[in-house]
Every structure is written in structure tokens, then in C-alpha cells.
Amino acid sequence: MNGKVYLVGSGPGDPELLTIKAKRLIESAEVILYDQLPGKAILDMLPESAEKIDVGKYAGNHKLSQWQINELLVKRAKEGKIVLRLKGGDPYLFGRGGEEAQTLAAEGIKVEVVPGITSAIAVPAYAGIPITHRDYASMVTFITGHEDPDKEETALNWELLAKFEGTLVILMGVSMLERNVKELMKHGKSVDTPVAVIERGTRPDQRVTIGTLADIVGLCKQRKVKAPAVTVIGDVVKLHHELAP
């Protein structure tokens, strides 16, 4: 008889932001597939009794391809194991959880998604940036900063995004920051638009770099900003100086 797979969101990195259900499932899983995104504090909580498999997903260095991860989930589940795929943030927000769920469903394997607190909201919050505010933004758009490299064309409409009057939140966008900023300015976004790049959000070593579209790339190079980081673009960034802890 097949086992079951849980696609579990671990949240943005602060272990206290794990859901009660996520913590319970981590403690009872027989097999855990993880990458670096949950962060050391959460990975240190993984039980000794579980088979732990590092599936990589480091920037530019994936230990396993996505199809290999899918294959491993299916294999372990067909061995009758309770399998947990531990993901940073939420599994269904740029986490490829939908692809994994489709694969498992096609194989007749039970799969359950456990939502996690997304870094798109929590990381700006920890930096004193509410992504919506009645005085600054009544809309928000989440953008992947790392599209499928096999795509022939980008799915992002930069002309539309440049005209968007709400907050733009870009996940996994450090390596493409310069391109993204250039696209926005090329399509008419004001060079004075405030920008925040938040590294290792919600963790003890969180770091925030504040600038504008005109200078954020230079500032990030100067400060050697590295992934994981969340980029927030819009007037709500102005609140950082008032609300940051």
C-alpha cells in the first residue's frame, strides 16, 4: 500500500513562525526531503529518526532536478512511507508545490498540502514594511524573480508592472535584480520609486538595504547582497524608517 506525501511550508525562516501542524508533521515524518530555504534553525529541528534527503536548490547549483525530486517523492511513497517535502515559505507560491502535487496525484498517491506563512508578506513585515497601507498602496503583486530558464519568452509583462500603482514584491530575485530594475525603468517606472531588498528575512541575521530604482543595484553590489532575499518596490518602503524594529 502506498504511503502519503505532505507538501509542507516552513514559513520564512523564524522557527516560531512554523505552523503547529507543520511542526507535528516534521516530528512524525519517516522521510524528509528538504533544501536550504527553510533555514538552519528549522533544519536543526528535523528528527534523527527520519531519513533526511538534501535535494539542493542552491542558487545555480541544484543537487537534484525537479523531475528527480518528483521521482524520489513517488518512490518513497510507493515504499509505504510517510514522506514530507519541506519547503520554504508556502508550497504553492513559487514553490513548485503544484507540480509535485500533480505528479503524485497522477501516480495515485495521497498528497496533502500544508500552507506556510509566505516570505512575500512576513519578510517585509519583519523589516517594518506593510505591503499594503491605505495611504500608500491598496494592491500588491507577487513576482517570481527566477523564471523557468527553458522558457523562450518571459511571462512577465514589465510594461504593465511599471504602470502598476500598488506594491511589487519579488521573490528569489537577487541574481536578476539589475535586469528587473532596468525593465521597470525602461517602461516608465519613476527612478525615485523606493526599493527595499531584505536578506535572510525573519532570521537573526536579517539585513535590509534601502534605496530607489535609480541606486538600489549599486547599493546591493556595494553591500554584497546575497540570496535568499525579498525585494519590495513601492511607496510602502517609506514606512521602514518609521516601523522597523
Looking at 14, 87, 90, 172, which residue is catalytic? 172
Looking at 57, 81, 87, 189, which residue is catalytic? 57
Q: In the annotation, is 176 catalytic?
A: no
Whole-angstrom Cα distance, residue 119 to residue 137? Answer: 19
Q: In the annotation, is 35 catalytic?
A: yes
Backbone angles phi, psi at 212, to 5 degrees: -130, 175
Q: In the annotation, is 185 catalytic?
A: no
Task: Specify the DSSP class assigned to residue 53.
Answer: E
Whole-angstrom Cα distance, residue 143 to residue 117? Answer: 17
Whole-angstrom Cα distance, residue 12 to residue 108? Answer: 31
In three-state secondary structure terms, 205 is: coil
Looking at 14, 35, 90, 189, which residue is catalytic? 35
Q: Are the C-beta atoms of residues 117 and 90 closer than 8 Å to each other?
A: yes
In three-state secondary structure terms, 98 is: helix
Residue 66's alpha-carbon distances to 55, 98, 148, 197, in angstroms, are 9, 12, 11, 27
Please list the helix, strand and coil fractions of the chain in percent, rounded to the nearest 5, in that order: 30, 25, 45
The amino acid occupying position 234 is G
- Catalytic sites, residue numbers: 35, 57, 172
